[in-house]
Structure 1
């Protein structure tokens, strides 16, 4: 707990200099080996000309969950895991003011390659959260540049 008596948001070494995720207001709820859960509020700066979530914002949000689930939260000085490829399917429009949650889970790991599924949910007033998009990421662990 912090000095204010409130639990501080979870941290991950990847977020230290991740100014995009900071600007998006992403908060980490849970992170462990092969899993991450994050949230953010959909703000007006994240909307497209139709007044709904810009697809790039949803993609970037899911990509952050993907990165957090692929890389150890304890950090690594020798390697980093990056996207080798991704697919995203948008299922519903993102509504301004709603809270989005991304839940990332590793499905398979073989050597330096992995497959991760990320579900993106949005809050719905007086109802259960709904699936906004599905993201599948293919990862590759590579040496850190020197």
Structure 2
């Protein structure tokens, strides 16, 4: 696997998730439109779509930190219904260790309201050799 966050042919691609950016400190940001693909029967953003967006923010943050992780644990709290898009998720590292990476992820709706908060712990598989990966 290279140093890009790969989405082609994945669930993230089907949901229209875009990587907006990441940095060497391990922060990551992603966005997702909110259309009929993303809704539950009540017409709000589906919890699974919100979770996937948070997971991709985690992946972008790990990519920025130059590590390849697999999820080891996650908890998510849904705070408000997502009623307008696009949705955005921002991941910030709490701790980047040798074997574990712990992140806080906040998910926002199109009006900037915080609709979910996740805490994700990833098991570090390897350091990525990206050359100058943090442009």
TM class by shorter chain equals 0.7 to 0.9
1:71 paired with 2:63, answer yes
Report the count of equivalent residues.
Answer: 124
Q: Please state how far the C-alpha of 1:101 moved relative to its aligned partner.
A: 0.8
- Per chain length, whose mean CA-contact separation is higher, i.e. which structure has more relative contact order (CA < 8 Å, sep 6+)? 2
Q: Please state how far the C-alpha of 1:17 moved relative to its aligned partner.
A: 3.8
Q: Following superposition, which runs of at least 4 residues in structure 1 exceed 2 angstroms of deviation?
A: 71-74
CA 1:64 to 1:18, structure 2 compared with 1: closer, same or farther past 3 Å?
farther
Please report the RMSD computed on the Cα atoms of aligned residues, expressed in angstroms.
2.1
Q: Please state how far the C-alpha of 1:36 moved relative to its aligned partner.
A: 0.7
C-alpha distance in 2 between matches for 1:81 and 1:29 = 19
Query: Cα deviations across residues 26-67 of structure 1 (Å, max 9, x unaligned)?
Result: 122211231111111111121111111110000011101111
C-alpha distance in 1 between matches for 2:74 and 2:40 = 22
Q: Give 5+ residue unaligned stretches, structure 2.
A: 128-135
Which residue of 49, 52, 56 maps to 1:60? 52
C-alpha distance in 1 between matches for 2:90 and 2:9 = 19
C-alpha distance in 1 between matches for 2:53 and 2:23 = 18
Q: Please state how far the C-alpha of 1:73 moved relative to its aligned partner.
A: 7.6
C-alpha distance in 2 between matches for 1:113 and 1:36 = 17
TM-score (norm 1): 0.76
Moved more, 134-143 or 53-62: 134-143
